[in-house]
Amino acid sequence: MKILMVFDFDHTVVDENCDIWVIKCLPKQTLPDSVESTYRRGQWTEYMGRVMAYIGDQGVAPDRVRSVMETIPFTPGMPELFTFISENKSTVDCIIVSDANTMFIEWVLQGAGLWEAVNQVYSNPASINESGYMELRHHHLHECAKCPVNMCKKKVLETYLSEKADGGEVYGRVFYVGDGGNDLCPAFCLSAGDAVMPRKGYTLDKMLTRLRDQEGNGSVSAKVIPWSSATDILQELKDSLQSQ
């Protein structure tokens, strides 16, 4: 049976937040208070829509935005991990579940020659309109009170696994790799044979530690394997493939 690798994107695949990195395409690499002050908690996608509208208003073309996004640094060891995955597609599937947007993710991975490693991207849909502006939409509707209004990663993962199972594909093991608070919810749909891999020192790692310290109350079923670099993840993946 195949292994499924599930990745968050910001501060996981790449070592920065791509929604912050995009500001570098502006002449002064800063946003005015009139834009920054419009952010409201839980409404990041709407805010990024206004950011991209402002970038368009400054005459920044999509090609310029893409060239800047292609300079975002990857987390140490991540290119090697994705290269390994792309070379082992017969035994490893890979999906990205991110609250960024589809266009940024595709640009970054294509620019680095790593796009072939990914089977599917689940993120907020982005497109360039007739005026040359990027537009963003919510990924989906959901009823999870713990997640941002535009995406519940648990719902994404559950739907993906269910659709695969309906097609006769059941994974031998699932690895979920992330860093943030919105990566906790999907960890609860993993089984005991799976693994949730939080980046050491980041929010997800701290949240899982608190759950564990609460004497297992509400803790996840999957094995928790923290990581510092993607080299750690690659070793876990190789060990899992060898043990099958």
- Active-site residue list: 8, 10
- Could you tell me if 180 and 204 are in contact, meaning their C-beta atoms sit under 8 angstroms apart? yes
Q: Which residues pair with 177 in a beta bridge?
A: 7, 197
The span from the CA of 179 to the CA of 177, in Å, is 7
- Residue 99 annotated in ligand binding: yes
Q: Which of the 8 DSSP states describes residue 74?
A: B
Q: β-strands 195-198, 3-7: how paired?
A: unpaired
The alpha helices in the chain, defined as continuous H runs, are: 18-21, 33-36, 44-57, 62-69, 78-86, 102-111, 153-166, 184-187, 203-213, 230-243
- Residue 10 annotated in ligand binding: yes
| Cα radius of gyration (the chain) | 18
The span from the CA of 10 to the CA of 15, in Å, is 7
As given in the structure block, the two tokens for residue 238 are 């190789």
- Residue 166 annotated in ligand binding: no
Residue 94: enclosing H or E segment and its boundaries? strand 92-101
87: Cα separation from own chain's centroid: 21
Could you give the maximum distance between any two Cα atoms of the chain, in Å?
A: 55
The answer for residues whose C-beta is within 8 angstroms of residue 23's C-beta and 6 or more apart is: 29, 30, 31, 51
Residue set of the binding site for substrate: 19, 99
Binding residues: 8, 10, 19, 99, 179
